[in-house]
Structure 1
Protein backbone atom coordinates (compact mmCIF):
# COMPACT_ATOMS: atom_id res chain seq x y z
CA UNK A 1 0.00 0.00 0.00
CA UNK A 2 1.23 3.47 -0.91
CA UNK A 3 0.68 6.31 1.56
CA UNK A 4 0.10 9.79 0.22
CA UNK A 5 0.09 13.01 2.22
CA UNK A 6 -1.92 16.17 1.67
CA UNK A 7 1.35 17.88 0.78
CA UNK A 8 2.14 15.32 -1.94
CA UNK A 9 -1.34 15.71 -3.42
CA UNK A 10 -1.10 19.51 -3.30
CA UNK A 11 2.31 19.44 -4.99
CA UNK A 12 0.94 17.22 -7.76
CA UNK A 13 -2.05 19.53 -8.26
CA UNK A 14 0.37 22.38 -8.92
CA UNK A 15 1.97 20.63 -11.91
CA UNK A 16 -1.18 19.34 -13.64
CA UNK A 17 -2.29 21.69 -16.42
CA UNK A 18 -6.05 21.80 -15.97
CA UNK A 19 -8.24 23.78 -18.36
CA UNK A 20 -10.38 26.63 -17.01
CA UNK A 21 -13.03 25.02 -14.81
CA UNK A 22 -16.20 26.62 -13.43
CA UNK A 23 -17.54 23.72 -11.36
CA UNK A 24 -15.88 20.71 -9.72
CA UNK A 25 -18.21 17.82 -9.00
CA UNK A 26 -16.98 15.30 -6.47
CA UNK A 27 -18.27 11.75 -6.64
CA UNK A 28 -19.41 10.96 -3.13
CA UNK A 29 -18.40 9.54 -0.99
CA UNK A 30 -14.79 8.67 -1.79
CA UNK A 31 -14.17 11.52 -4.21
CA UNK A 32 -15.38 14.35 -1.97
CA UNK A 33 -12.05 15.06 -0.18
CA UNK A 34 -10.17 14.89 -3.49
CA UNK A 35 -12.73 17.13 -5.22
CA UNK A 36 -12.54 19.61 -2.35
CA UNK A 37 -8.79 19.93 -2.81
CA UNK A 38 -9.14 20.25 -6.59
CA UNK A 39 -11.93 22.85 -6.35
CA UNK A 40 -9.89 24.92 -3.91
CA UNK A 41 -6.82 24.67 -6.17
CA UNK A 42 -8.82 25.72 -9.24
CA UNK A 43 -10.87 28.36 -7.38
CA UNK A 44 -14.03 26.67 -8.66
CA UNK A 45 -17.46 25.97 -7.23
CA UNK A 46 -17.80 22.55 -5.55
CA UNK A 47 -20.80 20.24 -5.89
CA UNK A 48 -21.20 16.63 -4.76
CA UNK A 49 -22.88 13.84 -6.72
CA UNK A 50 -23.76 10.97 -4.42
CA UNK A 51 -23.05 7.61 -6.03
CA UNK A 52 -21.95 4.36 -4.50
CA UNK A 53 -20.51 1.15 -5.86
CA UNK A 54 -17.92 -0.22 -3.42
CA UNK A 55 -17.77 -0.68 0.34
CA UNK A 56 -14.93 0.38 2.64
CA UNK A 57 -13.01 -2.82 1.82
CA UNK A 58 -13.28 -2.00 -1.93
CA UNK A 59 -15.76 -4.80 -2.66
CA UNK A 60 -18.71 -4.05 -4.96
CA UNK A 61 -21.93 -3.48 -2.99
CA UNK A 62 -24.14 -3.53 -6.08
CA UNK A 63 -24.02 -4.96 -9.61
CA UNK A 64 -23.35 -1.45 -10.88
CA UNK A 65 -22.85 2.01 -9.36
CA UNK A 66 -26.05 3.47 -7.92
CA UNK A 67 -26.99 7.12 -7.96
CA UNK A 68 -28.08 7.68 -4.38
CA UNK A 69 -29.22 11.26 -4.86
CA UNK A 70 -30.28 12.74 -8.20
CA UNK A 71 -28.48 15.95 -9.08
CA UNK A 72 -30.76 18.86 -9.95
CA UNK A 73 -28.30 21.57 -10.96
CA UNK A 74 -28.30 24.10 -13.78
CA UNK A 75 -24.90 23.46 -15.34
CA UNK A 76 -25.60 24.52 -18.92
CA UNK A 77 -22.61 26.40 -20.35
CA UNK A 78 -20.38 25.53 -17.37
CA UNK A 79 -16.96 23.88 -17.69
CA UNK A 80 -17.14 20.91 -15.36
CA UNK A 81 -14.47 18.72 -13.81
CA UNK A 82 -15.80 15.44 -12.41
CA UNK A 83 -13.49 14.16 -9.64
CA UNK A 84 -13.13 10.81 -7.88
CA UNK A 85 -10.33 9.44 -5.72
CA UNK A 86 -9.87 6.23 -7.75
CA UNK A 87 -11.20 5.20 -11.14
CA UNK A 88 -9.97 1.72 -12.00
CA UNK A 89 -12.88 -0.02 -13.72
CA UNK A 90 -14.39 3.33 -14.67
CA UNK A 91 -17.92 2.18 -13.77
CA UNK A 92 -18.60 4.87 -11.18
CA UNK A 93 -17.18 7.60 -13.41
CA UNK A 94 -19.34 6.35 -16.31
CA UNK A 95 -22.47 6.38 -14.14
CA UNK A 96 -21.68 9.94 -13.06
CA UNK A 97 -20.99 11.02 -16.65
CA UNK A 98 -24.36 9.61 -17.67
CA UNK A 99 -25.98 12.04 -15.20
CA UNK A 100 -24.07 14.91 -16.88
CA UNK A 101 -24.75 13.86 -20.47
CA UNK A 102 -24.69 16.73 -22.94
CA UNK A 103 -22.57 18.99 -20.73
CA UNK A 104 -18.93 20.09 -21.05
CA UNK A 105 -17.30 17.59 -18.67
CA UNK A 106 -13.70 16.47 -18.15
CA UNK A 107 -12.72 13.85 -15.59
CA UNK A 108 -10.04 13.71 -12.91
CA UNK A 109 -8.93 10.90 -10.61
CA UNK A 110 -6.18 10.79 -8.05
CA UNK A 111 -5.35 7.31 -9.36
CA UNK A 112 -6.61 5.23 -12.27
CA UNK A 113 -8.15 6.36 -15.56
CA UNK A 114 -9.48 9.83 -16.35
CA UNK A 115 -8.70 12.84 -18.52
CA UNK A 116 -6.43 14.07 -15.70
CA UNK A 117 -4.76 11.61 -13.33
CA UNK A 118 -2.66 12.98 -10.49
CA UNK A 119 -0.76 9.77 -9.72
CA UNK A 120 -0.72 7.62 -12.90
CA UNK A 121 2.40 5.84 -11.70
CA UNK A 122 0.67 4.32 -8.66
CA UNK A 123 -0.77 0.87 -9.33
CA UNK A 124 -1.11 -0.32 -5.72
CA UNK A 125 -3.81 0.51 -3.19
CA UNK A 126 -3.45 3.96 -1.65
CA UNK A 127 -3.68 5.06 1.98
CA UNK A 128 -5.30 8.47 1.50
CA UNK A 129 -4.58 11.13 4.13
CA UNK A 130 -8.32 11.64 4.71
CA UNK A 131 -9.01 7.97 5.51
CA UNK A 132 -8.41 6.60 9.03
Structure 2
Protein backbone atom coordinates (compact mmCIF):
# COMPACT_ATOMS: atom_id res chain seq x y z
CA UNK A 1 0.00 0.00 0.00
CA UNK A 2 1.37 3.38 -1.00
CA UNK A 3 0.87 6.11 1.62
CA UNK A 4 0.00 9.51 0.21
CA UNK A 5 0.45 12.89 1.84
CA UNK A 6 -2.02 15.71 1.49
CA UNK A 7 0.54 17.60 -0.62
CA UNK A 8 0.66 14.66 -3.06
CA UNK A 9 -2.94 15.50 -3.89
CA UNK A 10 -3.33 19.23 -3.33
CA UNK A 11 -0.56 20.33 -5.71
CA UNK A 12 -1.76 18.33 -8.74
CA UNK A 13 -5.37 19.19 -7.90
CA UNK A 14 -4.53 22.89 -7.97
CA UNK A 15 -2.89 22.44 -11.39
CA UNK A 16 -5.75 20.33 -12.84
CA UNK A 17 -7.61 21.88 -15.76
CA UNK A 18 -11.25 21.21 -14.97
CA UNK A 19 -13.93 21.56 -17.65
CA UNK A 20 -15.60 24.96 -17.90
CA UNK A 21 -19.01 25.83 -16.46
CA UNK A 22 -19.29 23.26 -13.68
CA UNK A 23 -22.41 24.03 -11.63
CA UNK A 24 -21.63 21.72 -8.73
CA UNK A 25 -19.91 18.60 -7.42
CA UNK A 26 -21.52 15.35 -6.30
CA UNK A 27 -19.35 13.10 -4.14
CA UNK A 28 -19.88 9.35 -3.91
CA UNK A 29 -19.88 8.36 -0.23
CA UNK A 30 -18.10 7.19 1.48
CA UNK A 31 -14.70 7.20 -0.23
CA UNK A 32 -15.41 10.11 -2.54
CA UNK A 33 -16.56 12.62 0.08
CA UNK A 34 -13.16 14.13 0.96
CA UNK A 35 -12.06 14.30 -2.70
CA UNK A 36 -15.40 15.93 -3.60
CA UNK A 37 -15.01 18.51 -0.82
CA UNK A 38 -11.53 19.38 -2.09
CA UNK A 39 -12.74 19.71 -5.69
CA UNK A 40 -15.83 21.76 -4.79
CA UNK A 41 -13.73 24.09 -2.65
CA UNK A 42 -11.20 24.60 -5.43
CA UNK A 43 -13.92 25.31 -8.00
CA UNK A 44 -15.95 27.46 -5.64
CA UNK A 45 -19.16 25.51 -6.31
CA UNK A 46 -21.69 23.66 -4.20
CA UNK A 47 -21.45 20.08 -3.02
CA UNK A 48 -23.96 17.25 -2.72
CA UNK A 49 -23.40 13.64 -1.64
CA UNK A 50 -24.87 10.37 -2.85
CA UNK A 51 -24.18 7.33 -0.65
CA UNK A 52 -23.63 3.91 -2.16
CA UNK A 53 -22.25 0.71 -0.71
CA UNK A 54 -20.47 -1.88 -2.80
CA UNK A 55 -17.28 -2.98 -1.04
CA UNK A 56 -16.49 -3.91 2.55
CA UNK A 57 -13.62 -2.70 4.73
CA UNK A 58 -11.26 -5.23 3.08
CA UNK A 59 -12.19 -3.79 -0.36
CA UNK A 60 -14.08 -6.94 -1.33
CA UNK A 61 -17.46 -6.68 -3.08
CA UNK A 62 -20.23 -6.86 -0.51
CA UNK A 63 -23.11 -6.89 -3.02
CA UNK A 64 -23.56 -7.94 -6.64
CA UNK A 65 -24.17 -4.27 -7.51
CA UNK A 66 -23.66 -1.04 -5.56
CA UNK A 67 -26.64 -0.29 -3.30
CA UNK A 68 -28.08 3.17 -2.79
CA UNK A 69 -27.95 4.13 0.90
CA UNK A 70 -29.18 7.73 0.75
CA UNK A 71 -31.82 9.84 -0.87
CA UNK A 72 -31.01 11.17 -4.31
CA UNK A 73 -29.46 14.63 -3.80
CA UNK A 74 -31.47 17.60 -5.00
CA UNK A 75 -29.35 19.25 -7.68
CA UNK A 76 -31.61 22.26 -8.04
CA UNK A 77 -30.73 24.12 -11.24
CA UNK A 78 -27.37 22.40 -11.73
CA UNK A 79 -27.06 21.25 -15.33
CA UNK A 80 -23.36 20.28 -15.51
CA UNK A 81 -21.67 18.51 -12.62
CA UNK A 82 -18.57 16.59 -11.66
CA UNK A 83 -19.33 13.19 -10.11
CA UNK A 84 -16.34 12.54 -7.84
CA UNK A 85 -15.04 9.36 -6.21
CA UNK A 86 -11.75 8.36 -4.63
CA UNK A 87 -10.89 5.54 -7.06
CA UNK A 88 -12.16 4.17 -10.35
CA UNK A 89 -11.38 0.51 -10.94
CA UNK A 90 -14.37 -1.31 -12.41
CA UNK A 91 -16.51 1.81 -12.68
CA UNK A 92 -19.44 0.10 -10.96
CA UNK A 93 -19.90 2.64 -8.17
CA UNK A 94 -19.54 5.59 -10.53
CA UNK A 95 -21.99 4.12 -13.06
CA UNK A 96 -24.49 3.25 -10.32
CA UNK A 97 -24.33 6.78 -8.93
CA UNK A 98 -24.80 8.20 -12.43
CA UNK A 99 -27.92 6.09 -12.98
CA UNK A 100 -29.52 7.67 -9.90
CA UNK A 101 -28.93 11.26 -11.04
CA UNK A 102 -31.32 13.11 -13.38
CA UNK A 103 -30.83 12.24 -17.05
CA UNK A 104 -30.99 15.89 -18.12
CA UNK A 105 -27.88 16.72 -16.07
CA UNK A 106 -24.53 16.45 -17.85
CA UNK A 107 -22.37 14.33 -15.55
CA UNK A 108 -18.59 14.43 -15.94
CA UNK A 109 -16.30 12.02 -14.07
CA UNK A 110 -13.40 12.88 -11.80
CA UNK A 111 -11.52 10.56 -9.45
CA UNK A 112 -8.37 10.86 -7.40
CA UNK A 113 -6.90 7.51 -8.54
CA UNK A 114 -7.45 5.38 -11.61
CA UNK A 115 -6.11 4.56 -15.05
CA UNK A 116 -8.49 6.96 -16.78
CA UNK A 117 -7.74 10.37 -18.24
CA UNK A 118 -10.09 11.88 -15.63
CA UNK A 119 -7.97 10.60 -12.72
CA UNK A 120 -5.77 12.95 -10.71
CA UNK A 121 -3.28 10.10 -10.12
CA UNK A 122 -3.01 7.60 -12.95
CA UNK A 123 0.52 6.30 -12.56
CA UNK A 124 0.25 4.37 -9.27
CA UNK A 125 -0.52 0.68 -9.18
CA UNK A 126 -2.07 -1.04 -6.19
CA UNK A 127 -3.84 0.40 -3.20
CA UNK A 128 -3.09 3.75 -1.61
CA UNK A 129 -3.52 5.06 1.92
CA UNK A 130 -5.29 8.39 1.73
CA UNK A 131 -3.97 11.06 4.11
CA UNK A 132 -7.38 11.40 5.79
CA UNK A 133 -7.62 7.69 6.66
CA UNK A 134 -6.77 6.69 10.22
CA UNK A 135 -7.25 2.92 10.00
Please, what TM-score do these two structures have when normalized by structure 2? Answer: 0.90
How far apart are residue 56 of structure 1 and its match?
A: 1.4
Distance in 2, Cα, partners of 1:66 & 1:114: 24
**What's the counterpart of residue 114 of structure 2?**
112
How far apart are residue 3 of structure 1 and its match?
A: 1.3
How far apart are residue 61 of structure 1 and its match?
A: 1.0
Alignment of 1:44-55 (within 5 A): 44-55=45-56
Structure 1 segments, 4+ long, off by >6 Å, are none
Distance in 1, Cα, partners of 2:66 & 2:75: 23
Aligned length: 132
Segments of structure 2 that go 5 or more residues without pairing to the other structure are: none
The answer (yes or no) to whether the contact 1:25–1:49 under 8 Å persists in 2 is: yes
Distance in 1, Cα, partners of 2:115 & 2:84: 11
**What's the counterpart of residue 124 of structure 2?**
122
Please, what TM-score do these two structures have when normalized by structure 1? Answer: 0.92
Segments of structure 1 that go 5 or more residues without pairing to the other structure are: none
Summarize deviations over 1:18-74 as a string: whole Å, max 9, x none: 013121100001110111111111111011001110111101111110011121414
When the two chains are superposed, the root-mean-square deviation of aligned CA atoms in Å is 1.5
